[in-house]
Chain A
Amino acid sequence: MTGEKERPASLPGAAAPPVSLPFAQEFNAGSLYALRSAVGAHAAAAGLGRHRVYDVTTAAHELAANAVRHGAGHGSLRLWAQGAYLCCAVADDGPAENGDGPAAPGGRARATDGAAWPVVHGHGLWIVGEIADDVRVDRGHAGTIITARFAIHPDGDGR
C-alpha cells in the first residue's frame, strides 16, 4: 500500500453535476447486491481494469453500507467519469448518528467543516480510504455526501 494520499485542493466533480457516464441509483439494505452489480458494470464500461473494478465496487458497497447501517438506512449513489477519474458519490440524507452523522473515511479525508472523522482500522470506511485515490466528505444540513475518486488505468489496475 502506498503512503499518505493528500486530498487535492479542489476535487472537481464532487459537488458538480456529472459530466459523463452518469449513473444514479437509490439503495437500501435489500438492494446492495443490485447496487454492486450495477457499479461493477459501469466501472468496467468506464475502462477500469478488473482489480480496480472490484475496488470501486467495494468502495461503493462500503459507503452505501455505512449509510444503511449508521445513517438513514437508505441513500443514493452516483457514478460518473470525469477526466482521468471515475467518481463515486454516496449521499445519505438521514439523521446524524449520535449527532455526528455517519462515520466517514478519516486519516486522508477531512470533512469540509474541518472536523476529523472517526475511522476504525479494517472497517468499511477505512477500506475506502485505502483503495480510493482520494476521498472527500461534504456535510450539510441535508445530510452527508462522500465522494471517492479512482484513476482510470485501462491497461492495468493502478496498484
Chain B
Amino acid sequence: MDASAQVTELSAADHACLTFGEAEELFDLTAAFVRDGLVAGLKVVWVSDAAPAQAIAELGNRGIAVRRAMEAGQMAAAGCEGRLLSGQEFRAEAAVGWLSGELASSREQGFPGLRVAVDMSWALRPVAGIEELPRFEEGIAAASTGSTASVLCQYDRERFDPVTLASVAGFHTRSVAAATYHADALLRICRQYAPPGIRLAGELDFQAAEPLARALSEAVRLDGDVTVNMTTLAFIDARCTMMVADAVRTIASAERPVTLRCSPEIGKGFVRLGLDGLRGIRLVTADDR
C-alpha cells in the first residue's frame, strides 16, 4: 500500500482504506470525498451504516448540495442490505458483482466515473460469510484497477481488530485518515475537510500550543473559506483563545471569510477579544447540550 494520502488526493482507480476514530471524522472525510466527486461530475454512491436519511443530513450539514445531486441522479445514499448483504449473509462474489453493476450503470448514465464510499461497520455484526471479507477487498481491488471507479472502504479503527485491518490493508492502493496534529484522551486537533479548516475537540490549554500553532498555520494556507470547528471543544484557555483569534484575524477578509463554531461559553472568550462583528469573521455559537 502507498504512503498515506489525503482524502482530497484520491482519483480514479484508487481503492483506498479510510480509518476513522469517531463519527465526526467519518462524516467529515466522506463529505470531502462526495463533494470532490460531485464537483468532478462523477456518479457518487455512499453505502452507509447509518440510515440513509441521517447520512444525507450529515452531508448536508457539511455544505454538500446532496439533495440536488440525488434529484439529478448523480448521488445515491443507501444501506448495505441488497448491495453487500443479503439478509444477514455476506458473499464476496455478490458484493463485488454489485459494485461492477454500479460501475456499468454509471457509464450507461453518461457519467465519466464512479465514486463509492462503503462504511464497513456492517462487518462488525454477526454476519454469515464474514470470513470472505479479504476476498471482497481483493475483488474490489481487481474491479477498480484501471477503471474509472474509486472506492473508499471505511473502517472504524477503534472497533475493528488489528488482525482484520491488516488482512485487508494489502488490497488497498492508499490509506486515508484525517491529518492529525494532536490526539490523546483529552484533546484532538485535526484537519477538517468539509468544510475546509481545522477541528478542535476536548480540552485545549497552553500545553498543546505547539500542535495548535501547526494546525493554525496550515489553516492559513488553505484556499477559500476556512472553518474552525470547536463544537465539541469543552474548554479553551486564554493562550489558545488568543492564538486562534490572532490566526483568524490574519486569515479573514471579505473575500475569504472565516467561520468559528463553538459553544456560547467559548464564544464569549472570542467576543471578549473583539472578534465578533469583524469583517470576514462569523462567530456561530450553538448550544448542543
Contact = CB atoms under 8 A, between A and B. Distances in A.
Q: Give the size range of B's interface with the partner.
A: 10 to 19
Contacts of B268: 51
B201 to A, nearest CB: 14
Q: Give the size range of A's interface with the partner.
A: 20 to 34
Contacts, number: 48
A29 B207 CA distance: 8
Interface string B231-244: 00001011101100
A54 B267 CA distance: 12
B272 A62 contact: no
Contacts of B272: 1, 122, 127, 130
A61 B205 contact: yes
B265 A123 contact: no
Interface in B4-19: none
Question: Is chain A's binding surface mostly helix, strand, loop or mixed?
Answer: helix
Nearest to B271: A1
B203 interface: yes
Nearest to A37: B203
Contacts of A7: none
Given A1-B272, A123-B242, A33 B265 contact: no
Interface string A42-79: 00000000110011011001100100010000000000
Interface of A: 1, 29, 32-33, 36, 50-51, 54-55, 57-58, 61-62, 65, 69, 122-124, 126-127, 130
